[in-house]
Amino acid sequence: MPIAATDFAHVRLTVRDIDVSRRFYDDVFGFDVAFELPEDPDEQTREQLSFLFGGVIYRFPGGLLGLRPVAPGDDSFDEDRIGLDHLSLAVADRAALDHAVAVLDDLGILHEDVKDVGGQAILEFRDPDGIALEIAAPTS
């Protein structure tokens, strides 16, 4: 009998620079922070939150999205290697997808045109590390 998974619990992305990545994800998505190391933590708190690796974990209706800043400065994302191809986040409808276009335009973030891929429309763009991101909305 296979494992009866019901949803994703979390996804964590490895990034090069937490300040740059935080600014991007805060500006684009505005997710609430679920976990982060406070300023000047005591040793117990530092040990308890060591799983963050100096990063942050956001909470949003779909679960948790973490940023783990351990990639070397000269590293780059490549969806053609083993691992992550892209991360797709859902919005409610085409109006929300059009709003996402406006947000990216206002922030000066390059993106593809919205594409209808049969049953859903998608908006593709990249984060500061080149990680392929997608916003998807149903077309029906």
37-47: pLDDT as tens digits: 988 899 999 99
- Locate 126 and state its tokens: 């990249």
* pLDDT top residue among 10 and 7: 10
Provide the pLDDT for residue 130.
96
8 A C-beta contact, residue 41 and residue 96: no
Distance (Å, rounded) from C-alpha 66 to C-alpha 64?
A: 7
**Domain-embedded: residue 51:** yes
8 A C-beta contact, residue 134 and residue 87: yes
What number is the average pLDDT over the span 67-92?
Answer: 93
**Looking at the 3D structure of the chain, how many domains does it have?**
2
| 38 backbone dihedrals φ, ψ, rounded to 5° | -70, 165
Domain shared by 67 and 94, yes or no: no
pLDDT per position as a tens digit, 52-71:
999 999 999 989 999 999 99
Using CB atoms within 10 Å of the CB of residue 7, give its burial: 0 to 12 exposed, 13 to 18 middle, 19+ buried.
Answer: exposed
Q: Does position 140 have pLDDT exceeding 90, yes or no?
A: no
Domain that holds residue 48: 1-74
What number is the average pLDDT over the span 66-89?
Answer: 93
Which one of 24, 44, 74 terminates a domain? 74
Provide the pLDDT for residue 33.
97
What number is the average pLDDT over the span 65-92?
Answer: 93
Sign of the CA dihedral running 12, 60, 89, 21? negative
Which one of 47, 74, 101 terminates a domain? 74
What number is the average pLDDT over the span 71-97?
Answer: 93
Provide the pLDDT for residue 7.
82
Helix and strand numbers (H, E) in the chain are: 3, 8
